[in-house]
Structure 1
Amino acid sequence: MENPNKSPDPSSPPPRSTSSSGLPFSKSKCAICLDEIRKEDGKAIFTAECSHSFHFGCITSNVKHGNRICPLCRTEWKQVPVFVNDRVVPAPTFPVQTGFEDDESLPVSQPSGVAAEHQALEIKLLPQVSAVEKSVARVDFAVLVHLKAAEGASDDRPATRAPLDLIAVLDVSGSMEGTKLHLLKNAVAFVIDNLGETDRLSVIAFSSGARRLFPLRLMSERGKREAIQAVNSLVAGGGTNIAEGLKIGARVIEDRRWKNPVSGMMLLSDGQDNFTLSRSHSHSHSHSHSLVRPRADYQCLIPSSRIPIHTFGFGADHDAELMHTISQVSSGTFSFIETETVIRDAFAQCIGGLLSVVALDQVVEIECLHEEGLKISSIKAGSYRSRVSSDGRTAKIDVGDMYAEEERDFLVILEIPRCEDESMPLVKIRCVYKDAVSREIVRVESGELSIQRPEQLTGEEVVSVEVDRQLNRFLVSEAMSEARVLADGETQSARARDGLCLSLSSELGALQERMTSRRMYERSGRAYA
């Protein structure tokens, strides 16, 4: 979630810089604590060799815990504050806990049957075109699968919803001290206040190590009061051990004795994990690109039960690659919180979705109908896991959970043979999921999707706007994914400042400037394209 800053006064625009995430960051703020940098405050100011400025106290805290990387431009500092006879701040010590089978039992009640009285899911199929000539074969014919979840609670229906097991994994490292930690506590209190009596919450705090503040506990009035007291007792200090926080969060989920229908984890951090990354690796290279880690490093810490992990990167120094990887692998979401004032809004959007889940563990099954030559060549499902059978006749997409009124779109790419019939049945869809309230297995089937096969088309072929829109969306998404992989990993020629690469980069910049509008493109951009 990207939250743009409020527009500054045009008469006195503040100086701007660019963070490592590519977003603008105000030079008047310290990128570590996010407080204003003002000389009149009496606080010492440290200006690094890369020209970025921070509060001296914030920098010394970072350096004490081994962080020598600029939070804004990712430059590795060679000159940092030197400590003489200064006591190193000790990292908080956490007791070792071996088991987490102490979750509070769920209230004894029968699942409500209200949700089963209405269909929680709608399926819509659209072909790329409605007709293909008999003599024409297509190898890239797109079919849009559109899913829409039903509405949640309303005035004319009892306000029933599925209860939630929520794990909050919170960064309390030294860089969270001050305003950040205060606003984090307020945001968590807001989440607690919005949970119901049948929802359960457990909070894990991590810095150099990690500890569970309390087990999965029902959010009764007493449970809420004690949970808020525990969160308010948190203090900041130490390094950033995201891996240990995730590990304990996973154990809480996997070791619980009782399970609510809906489960989720929220992970918030404002820094780079400086414990799991091997010291030898980080010291053997001098460039910030050497800190890029393989995605597989953190997959082993994600719960085997595939609980969605919703990650929140806080401020300019968060580990964006790690947070994105965790959320993508676990089918969660990744939100970037640029300024501390919007942390509550980010949490509110996440908890609002978790409290309105209507369909669980949803799987979409696709079946070809025409018997001769019709095959599924591929599925465009983004980060959702999909698979096509060896004969190309069936396919499946693991959709997971869906919130009330949520919509999802997938594209099925077909190979269509020539055909002598007047019409051709293409596919039908079946969705299998668990109703979040009644907990019953539900199967919803679409009708058969067919296209016409005339001898000759009368008039121009009309492409479905909805299908074309999704084709463009996936095309852009794939290009962005490729660009992100290149940006994260970099290439040898780019790192070496290769002349051809620099020329290509310059040409792309010029092309971008000439594509800002149709008029600009017609005037000067066409030749570049």
Structure 2
Amino acid sequence: MSSSQTNVCAICSKRFATGQGQAIFTAECCHSFHFGCVSKSVSNGNYACPVCHAKWNNLPFTMPTFVANLPPPKSSNPVSFGFQIPPPSAFGFHILPHPASGRPFDPWPELGPESLVFSDDEPLLTITANSNSSDSRDGLQGVKIKSIPERPAIAASESLSQFAVLVGVRAPPLSDNACLFDRAPIDLVAVLDISGSMNGSKLNLVKRAVHFVADNLGPSDRLSIVCFSSDARRIFPLRRMTDNGREDAKRAVDSVVANGSTNIVEGLKKGVRVLEERRQQNPVASIIFLSDGQDTCSSGLFFQTSSQPPQYLHLLPGSICPRNRGTQDQVQQQTFPVHAFGFGSDHDPVAMHAISDESGGTFSFIESYEMIQDAFASCIGGLLSVVNQRLQIIVRSASNGVEIKSISSGRYASEISDQGCRGIINVGDLYADEEKEFLINLSVPVLRGAEDEEGQGKTSLLDIVCSYRDIVSKEIVRVEVDLVEIRRPKVVSPQDKVVHLEVDRQRNRLWAAEGIAEAQRLAERGNFTGAQAVLSNRRSKLLSSASAQAGDGLCTWLESELKETEQRMGSRQVYQQSGRAFALSGMNSHAYQRATTRGNAVPGAEAQTLSFGQASTTPFSAPAAAKISFGAYTTPNMANMVNKSQQLNKTSASTPSKE
């Protein structure tokens, strides 16, 4: 008679005792055993049933030691352990109730593998009025706004169909003594690839990077961890990063092993559900998503080419892929930015770029495995410094005949209405010290009358208003600036014909970004010679521009970027190995004016520094002496976090191993 029929474990010959918190493993041959007995047997290399000797295809899930030794639950709180493990039923065993609580040890309700409820997030930290918070903000202004016409004057008798006005915003910095309450707390979900290709040092580096993330989140921030291979599993619920929370998060990620194929769709779905099903919400919510391969579980459902985003994007939730939303969800549904990290040379840069671009996140290409912690550090350095939210720029025509023709806003949503009299740019969140610049292209009519005593008139071009939610006060702040005006003399002097360097450098940025996008399209068609020619031409024109000739640091960086992109498009092999990912990461960075890791360069790294703002003549920009680490969009907090990561790496490298 089989063990399942006698209710006796065939390994230890003891009965299955109900109500003592014992785990029971039922194999596909229908024989049951104490989980502790069978797991020990399997760990010794016995992969067949002790009763009928049938070979098992599905082995019992080996529970980490720190999970097995946990005490029974002490309350009805669904988060009794400080972390979550996969439902035992998914791995072929079930858990009997413990008499102290009358419920299973399993911290997830038994609702089936795809209907688990993730409303077990840890409550938010209660924030009370704090004098230190207000003191740290004393003397700091809010968002700064600048507006610079392309030229200071247009002849009164002249009409222009294209005249640019640069509109920029810059968030306030975090002070040296800033506390946690001076920036927005975050709900962060790490979605990590643990497929078989991640085995070995790659997975160890990812675990170390997650440790760094946990250590640098504050007690008001919450972290959840989702791992995916052939399927996806939330291994750690959304918990605050207190001392206990950090340690539990580290133990949870340390328990995973690499195996199976790559199911990107299920990983992202599970990560999104963690945020969608929260009971409480921190002001900022984001997903960091890392993978070293292509989706081998969903991509086979559709025909696709390497140059087109995968069709499986249609399977992703609307909260990270707005194109999948129904008409009723367009306004109400929140979008969660996905900050994607393509790991190594075998990941799918087209898919990862499409996912990040669609969600409003960043796409980083990590060429060297050892860079993963620094890349994560740069990303969270920004996410942990959000000081303004829901920022919006509204521009209005300030004179009859002045019409807004276009807005160069990249991937930030913009709209022109009222027959060109009103324009709007939705920027969203701003990191501390982060700057965004946009070119507003206008048509300017002939000036009729209204001359001043010196025989020249003026034309008011734009009225600019900026609104945003301040993190500290929780109030909506509205900022109005002076009208943007230009002189209208009868005769324009040579000085009046000179384009302002701030406008010129912004045109250079757009010129470079458009060149990378054009070259990438040619490379996808196999025209690598043409792609390199486009980039070479853009470099030549950029270097001959007024701002480059004036020694502008941004132009120096752009020229270097174009040159490296050109080199990575030298052949089909080089392009497929790294050029495609490098170009797409650059396109994403320029579209959102936000730093990304590209190739072997981490934004904020100490090893590569450039001076920016050397050609600047306005107090809005960084002073000429300021040093900003690699990348035009790097913020001080991002650079500080990367420096912290690098110092930790140096310390770890110099510390002798215990083994």
Fold in common (TM above 0.5):
yes
Equivalent residue runs for 1:453-468 within 5 Å: 453-460=488-495, 461-468=497-504
Equivalent residue runs for 1:39-78 within 5 Å: none
Are residues 515 and 457 of structure 1, via their aligned partners in 2, closer, same or farther at CA, if it must alter by over 3 Å?
closer
State the match for 2:442 in structure 1.
Answer: 414
Question: 224, 233, 250: which one pairs with 1:202?
Answer: 224
State the match for 1:82 in structure 2.
Answer: none
Secondary structure in structure 2 of the residue aligned to 1:102? coil
1:352 aligns with 2:369: no
What code does the residue aligned with 1:151 have? P
* CA-CA distance at 1:90 after TM superposition: 9.2
Q: For the pair shown, which has the larger CA radius of gyration, 1 or 2?
A: 2
Paired-residue identity, %: 43
Larger helix share, 1 or 2:
2
What code does the residue aligned with 1:380 have? S
* CA-CA distance at 1:280 after TM superposition: 6.0
Are residues 232 and 301 of structure 1, via their aligned partners in 2, closer, same or farther at CA, if it must alter by over 3 Å?
farther
Secondary structure in structure 2 of the residue aligned to 1:278? helix
Secondary structure in structure 1 of the residue aligned to 2:356? helix
Are residues 89 and 378 of structure 1, via their aligned partners in 2, closer, same or farther at CA, if it must alter by over 3 Å?
farther
* CA-CA distance at 1:302 after TM superposition: 3.7
**Partner Cα separation in structure 2 for residue 405 and residue 513 of structure 1:** 33
Higher relative CO (CA 8 A, sep ≥ 6), structure 1 or 2? 1
Judge conservation of contact 1:90–1:238 (CA < 8 Å) in 2. Answer: no
What code does the residue aligned with 1:347 have? F
State the match for 1:297 in structure 2.
Answer: 314
Secondary structure in structure 2 of the residue aligned to 1:180? helix
Structure 2: runs of 5+ lacking an equivalent: 1-54, 62-89, 92-112, 321-332, 451-456, 545-659
Larger strand share, 1 or 2:
1
What code does the residue aligned with 1:209 have? D
What code does the residue aligned with 1:384 have? Y
Are residues 430 and 242 of structure 1, via their aligned partners in 2, closer, same or farther at CA, if it must alter by over 3 Å?
same
The total of aligned residue pairs comes to 416
**Partner Cα separation in structure 2 for residue 100 and residue 195 of structure 1:** 21
**Partner Cα separation in structure 1 for residue 383 and residue 531 of structure 2:** 41
State the match for 1:270 in structure 2.
Answer: 292
**Partner Cα separation in structure 1 for residue 312 and residue 156 of structure 2:** 47
Are residues 130 and 513 of structure 1, via their aligned partners in 2, closer, same or farther at CA, if it must alter by over 3 Å?
closer
State the match for 2:466 in structure 1.
Answer: 431
State the match for 1:35 in structure 2.
Answer: none
State the match for 2:483 in structure 1.
Answer: 448
**Partner Cα separation in structure 2 for residue 158 and residue 203 of structure 1:** 23
**Partner Cα separation in structure 2 for residue 509 and residue 213 of structure 1:** 46
What code does the residue aligned with 1:315 have? G
State the match for 2:241 in structure 1.
Answer: 219
Structure 2 length normalisation: TM-score? 0.59
State the match for 2:585 in structure 1.
Answer: none
* CA-CA distance at 1:216 after TM superposition: 0.9
1:306 aligns with 2:332: no
Equivalent residue runs for 1:43-442 within 5 Å: 95-110=113-128, 114=134, 118-155=140-177, 160-279=182-301, 281=303, 289=306, 293=310, 297=314, 300-303=317-320, 304-370=333-399, 372-420=400-448, 421=450, 422-442=457-477
Judge conservation of contact 1:153–1:161 (CA < 8 Å) in 2. Answer: no
What code does the residue aligned with 1:470 have? Q
Secondary structure in structure 1 of the residue aligned to 2:420? coil
Are residues 510 and 246 of structure 1, via their aligned partners in 2, closer, same or farther at CA, if it must alter by over 3 Å?
closer
Judge conservation of contact 2:209–2:376 (CA < 8 Å) in 1. Answer: yes
Structure 1: runs of 5+ lacking an equivalent: 1-85, 283-287, 495-500, 522-529
Cα RMSD for the two superposed structures = 3.0
* CA-CA distance at 1:258 after TM superposition: 0.8
**Partner Cα separation in structure 1 for residue 166 and residue 447 of structure 2:** 22
Judge conservation of contact 2:143–2:169 (CA < 8 Å) in 1. Answer: yes
**Partner Cα separation in structure 1 for residue 294 and residue 349 of structure 2:** 9
**Partner Cα separation in structure 2 for residue 509 and residue 235 of structure 1:** 42
Are residues 384 and 517 of structure 1, via their aligned partners in 2, closer, same or farther at CA, if it must alter by over 3 Å?
closer
What code does the residue aligned with 2:310 have? R
> 1:89-119 CA deviation, whole Å, 9 max, x = no partner?
9999674343211111113233667387643
> 1:471-508 CA deviation, whole Å, 9 max, x = no partner?
121122123223334545x3xxx6xxxxxx7xxx6577
**Partner Cα separation in structure 2 for residue 101 and residue 311 of structure 1:** 25
Are residues 404 and 512 of structure 1, via their aligned partners in 2, closer, same or farther at CA, if it must alter by over 3 Å?
closer
